[in-house]
Amino acid sequence: MGERLRVGAVQLHSPLSPAECAVQCGEWIAAARKAALDLLVLPESASSRTDDPAETPVAEPLDGPFVQSLIAALDGSGLTVIAGITESAGDRPFNTVVVVDATGIRAVYRKLHLYDAAGMRESDAIRPGEHAPPVIDVGGFGVGVMTCYDIRFPETARALALQGADVLAVPTSWVRGPLKEAHWSTFCAARALESTCFVIGAGQTGGTRIGCSMIVAPDGTTMASAGVEQTLLVTEFDRARVDAARTAFPLLAQRRFDLDLVPRSPELVTGVRRHDG
């Protein structure tokens, strides 16, 4: 079990062309290799973007040129990269995260919670995933994967922590809107605190995206953060911080799994609550 992990989060403004995106991400991977990182997290939709949040970026298969370019850029290194892509799948693509290293694809996660909120409907253009997000080993740390809107659902982070995650990697493309920067920073800190995990939030910036990438410790403190610039955040994780948080607040051990605490209410699911009397 590793005691330290050097990590990075890339904040970028993806080009419209998938080929240009591949070049851009290759340059950030080169910077990560130079910094001797073990783990690099790229944003959601790192393989292509659109200027209109309602449009779907260009989709590619998992064995397409973008993912293959990531793997090629890792040749001869021990670096693991997590990146968001638009994965082709019939009439509606998946919003997918791939975990790759020099040997190839290690894991795939297709976004479960699509952004049908605040006047937008991601599900009109994107197919929802059907499988729980994975936890993969990187340098002896368990790394769980979520995507953007998933971070608003605390059950996702808790499930990953219970599977052995010490780190939550969250590629995102957070759309601008009222208080959205505050929402993002609050969710990153909350997921870190309640799961006693490190959180790496790597976001798109420019245009309709907020940037604000950040890396948060298990005690909720911010280790590194960005504004709206394109940048690489770098820090080092120490397992002792996870152990200290879980000793002080043994939340994963204390939660009462034998109780059904929150039965689903039909009124809440449909967004309407009845008040009788």
pLDDT digit string (tens) for 215-241? Answer: 999 999 999 999 999 999 999 999 999
Q: Between 3.20.20.70, 3.40.50.2300, 3.60.110.10, 1.10.101.10, what CATH number should domain 4-269 receive? A: 3.60.110.10
d(CA 201, CA 41): 8
Q: Let me know: does 215 contact 199? Beta carbons within 8 Å.
A: yes
- pLDDT tens for 196-208 read 999 999 999 999 9
Give alpha helix (H) positions in the chain.
Answer: 18-34, 65-73, 154-162, 180-195, 239-248, 251-254, 266-269
Active site residues: 44, 111, 148
- The count of residues in the chain is 277
Taking the whole predicted model, whether its pTM rises above 0.75 is answered as yes
Cβ atoms of residues 9 and 235 within 8 Å: no
CA atoms of 41 and 82, how far apart (whole Å): 5
78-99 pLDDT, tens digit per residue, is 999 999 999 999 889 999 999 9
Query: Is residue 272 exposed (0-12), middle (13-18) or buried (19+ Cβ within 10 Å)?
Result: exposed
Which of the residues in the chain have pLDDT under 50? 272-277
Q: How do strand 222-225 and strand 231-238 relate by DSSP bridges?
A: unpaired
Predicted confidence at residue 273, as pLDDT, reads 47
